[in-house]
């Protein structure tokens, strides 16, 4: 096993636009620059993106673990591997409206296109919160199933158990469109800095681009989505 230190990542505040503003054709004529008075304002100061920052993995870096170094040597000439670092930072104190979810989507594309690049491994894979849940199963007259608020003529049993609600989970492992999803739980708000890492496998000698899109959702009062796609993808290519 090889341990890597987390590098200092350059961060940027993201201004996320409401999804409705991203749909449809661009307006023409003098109205092209006129703001829509009914459009919701952008989401500012809520999400910061660190990175992405990538380094190519070499057998020399993994020399302390002969098995890992040997695996990488065996793959040479077929695949290159890159360790990619990112982070998402949410406002340190909960703000209104609360962030209900955030999604960091990555899109890997390469030339040549085959074999396609993919997320070889990801960290974290899943983070959960333990939440105590009480579930009551009730039967009423004529064996009808009753809801939790029913009481007349009922017979039932209560059961307590621990539910593990996902707070963060990786998506798209071994695919070209990996990502992470964060969701507010009963116990945890979306706050603080969260480090993310993945190993990208590319065809040896290929030039691979990694594009990033961040989406977040708030309730005002209905759930509204906001999105920001970084204009410049991160380029992964072997330097010999």
Eight-class DSSP state of 205: T
In angstroms, the Cα distances linking 25 to 83, 96, 127, 214, 220 are 38, 31, 40, 22, 26
- pLDDT tens digits for range 211-221: 999 999 998 87
Residue 4 and residue 105: Cα distance in Å, rounded?
24
Helices (H) and strands (E) in the chain, counts: 1, 14
pLDDT(187) > 90: no
d(CA 46, CA 92): 9
Q: How far apart are CA 122 and CA 174, in angstroms?
A: 9
CB atoms within 10 A of CB 165: 15
Which residue's structure tokens are 């040549």?
112
Question: Residue 1 to residues 4, 29, 68: CA-CA distances in angstroms?
Answer: 10, 61, 8
pLDDT digits (tens, 9 = 90+) for 129-185: 655 555 555 555 655 555 544 444 444 455 564 555 778 899 999 999 999 999 988
CA atoms within 13 A on the CB side of 99: 30
Q: What percent of the chain has pLDDT over 70?
A: 74
Q: With cut-offs at 50, 70 and 90, classify the pLDDT of residue 117.
A: very high
3-state secondary structure of 57: coil
Question: Structure pTM?
Answer: 0.77
**What does the DSSP 8-state code read for residue 165?**
E
């Amino acid at each position: 096993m090889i341990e890597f230190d987390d590098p200092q990542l350059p961060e940027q505040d993201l201004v996320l636009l409401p999804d409705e503003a991203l749909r449809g054709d661009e307006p023409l004529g003098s109205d092209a620059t006129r703001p829509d008075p009914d459009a919701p304002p952008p989401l500012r100061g809520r999400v910061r993106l660190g990175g992405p920052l990538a380094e190519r993995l070499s057998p020399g870096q993994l020399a302390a673990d002969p098995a890992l170094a040997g695996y990488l040597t065996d793959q040479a000439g077929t695949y290159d591997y890159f360790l990619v670092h990112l982070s998402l930072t949410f406002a340190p104190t909960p703000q209104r409206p609360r962030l209900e979810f955030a999604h960091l989507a990555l899109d890997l594309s390469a030339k040549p296109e085959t074999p396609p690049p993919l997320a070889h491994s990801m960290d974290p894979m899943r983070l959960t919160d333990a939440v105590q849940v009480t579930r009551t199963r009730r039967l009423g007259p004529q064996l009808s199933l009753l809801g939790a608020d029913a009481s007349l003529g009922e017979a039932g049993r209560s059961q307590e158990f621990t539910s593990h609600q996902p707070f963060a989970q990786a998506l798209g492992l071994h695919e070209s469109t990996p990502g992470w999803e964060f969701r507010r739980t009963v116990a945890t708000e979306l706050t603080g800095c969260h480090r993310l890492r993945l190993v990208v496998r590319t065809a040896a000698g290929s030039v691979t681009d990694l594009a990033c899109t961040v989406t977040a959702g708030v309730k005002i009062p209905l759930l509204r989505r906001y999105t920001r796609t970084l204009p410049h993808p991160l380029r992964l290519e072997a330097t010999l």
